[in-house]
Amino acid sequence: MNGSDGIMNGIAIRNLAELGQDGLRQATEVFVDGFFQSLSYFSKDRARLVRALEHALVKEHFFVALVDGRVLGIFAFSAGRQRAFRLNRDILRKELGWLKGSLFYAFVRQELEKPLGLKDRQCYFEAVATADEAKGKGIATRLHDHLLSVLDYDEYILEVVDTNTAAVRLYEKLGYAEFNRKPQRWFRKQAGFNARIYMKKHADNSSLR
């Protein structure tokens, strides 16, 4: 399909658990490409990163945007103590090497094990990414709106890095407001950002389409 309208009209939203192995691989590719600047510290080999991480996506917590059967966007959520990622250290070591795999497991697992501090009626959005050829064509907005339509929470929280100004503008347009900002104290250059911005939105706020 050509053009923004063609993509918007042809989008199908599915839970990743409904797709097979090929869908999981495509979703992981979108994730790796979307966060490559941070992931490249562990490997600059895209295919290796995909092999290392496709096990980690908790499929029930990921929704994907499909166009002509191809995954062009991903959007994940966490609630309570259930997170959208689950790491296997042995797989990481096998694909990234013992040292880099161990480092990845230690760093990321530490982040995943931090309690989000969510209340019963709060939901946390994460791992939002769009394929390069579909950026700016409404994929993330469609995924976001779909999640709000199928999830039942009072408040939605998300995190975005300060260098991703396009995402900040998008979330502001969707009704989110910043409520906290945490400086990145270590490995700023490798991470590719200076601070994490936390934004939230009440469920009764209508998103702009």
Q: Which two tokens stand for residue 91?
A: 């797989």
Q: How many CB atoms lie under 10 A from the CB of residue 188?
A: 12
Largest CA distance in the chain: 48
Please give the mean pLDDT across all residues of the chain. Answer: 90
pTM here? Answer: 0.90
pLDDT in tens, 19-48: 999 999 999 999 999 999 889 989 999 999
pLDDT in tens, 50-94: 999 999 999 999 999 999 999 999 999 999 888 999 999 999 999
Place of tokens 């969707």: 174
SS3 107: helix
- Residue 107 sits at the vertex; the CA angle it makes with 101 and 36, to the nearest 5 degrees, is 70
**Bridge pairing between strands 122-130 and 195-202:** unpaired
SS3 86: coil
DSSP 66: E
Distances (CA, A) of 52 to 34, 38, 94, 197: 15, 15, 8, 27
Domains within the chain, CATH numbers bracketed: 3-202 (3.40.630.30)
Mean pLDDT value across residues 165-182: 94
